[in-house]
Structure 1
Amino acid sequence: MKVSVGLKVLKGKVLSVVNKKTAVVENTRFVEHPVYKKRIKRVKKYQVHDEIGVKVGDLVTFVPSKPYSKTKKWKIVPNKVK
């Protein structure tokens, strides 16, 4: 699958597989505190559309897509991150 230039490509770890086509993926990023300069861990969970059948613990790449439901607006890119 080709990924369009300019799309926000995120990587994350699969936390759970809700049903055949939905997975919950956790994206972790680090931000720097503006005053104290300490790195702070920020974690966000995304519900993503899964066509390839990922398992819990897999590292995946996902991109924005058309809305599949109220909360599911991301799609997993087929090539897994090792």
Structure 2
Amino acid sequence: MPKRTMRGVVVSAKQDKTAIVRIERTFTHPMLKKIVRRSSRYHAHDEGNVAVEGQTVTIRECAPKSKLKRWELVADEGSDA
């Protein structure tokens, strides 16, 4: 089964080998018919400590590395800060 991948923005890179990535999704509210934005934060494993706050990155799911880390950093598209 293929691993899921998501794109998001790094909101914190202060921890060692960990980056917190915010993933935003939009959907139409079923009753109000308005576009609604929701976001989730994921702890991603960053082996080389290359993530910088404000950077757009791609993460993919992996085997659990710690209590909260179930994702790993795949690629970065340069600094958007």
TM class, shorter-length: 0.7 to 0.9
In structure 2, give the amino acid aligned to 1:58. Q
Does residue 69 of the first structure (1) align with residue 66 of the second (2)? yes
Please list every run of at least 4 consecutive aligned residues from structure 1 whose deviation after the TM superposition is greater than 2 angstroms: none
Larger strand proportion, structure 1 or 2? Answer: 1
Query: What's the counterpart of residue 18 of structure 1?
Result: 14
- Deviation (angstroms), 1:20: 2.6
- Deviation (angstroms), 1:16: 0.7
Partners of 2:64 and 2:25 in 1: CA distance: 24
Question: How many percent of aligned residue pairs carry the same amino acid?
Answer: 34
RMSD: 1.5
Query: What's the counterpart of residue 60 of structure 1?
Result: 57
Does residue 44 of the first structure (1) align with residue 51 of the second (2)? no
Does residue 30 of the first structure (1) align with residue 26 of the second (2)? yes
Equivalent position to 2:2, from 6, 9, 12: 6
Q: Give the secondary structure class of the aligned counterpart of 1:18.
A: coil
Matched-pair contact (CA < 8 Å) for 2:13–2:19: yes
Structure 1 segments unaligned to the other structure (5+ residues): none
What TM-score, normalized by structure 2, do the two folds share?
Answer: 0.85
Aligned residues between the structures = 77
Structure 2 segments unaligned to the other structure (5+ residues): none
- Deviation (angstroms), 1:81: 2.8
In structure 2, give the amino acid aligned to 1:24. I
Q: Give the secondary structure class of the aligned counterpart of 1:19.
A: coil
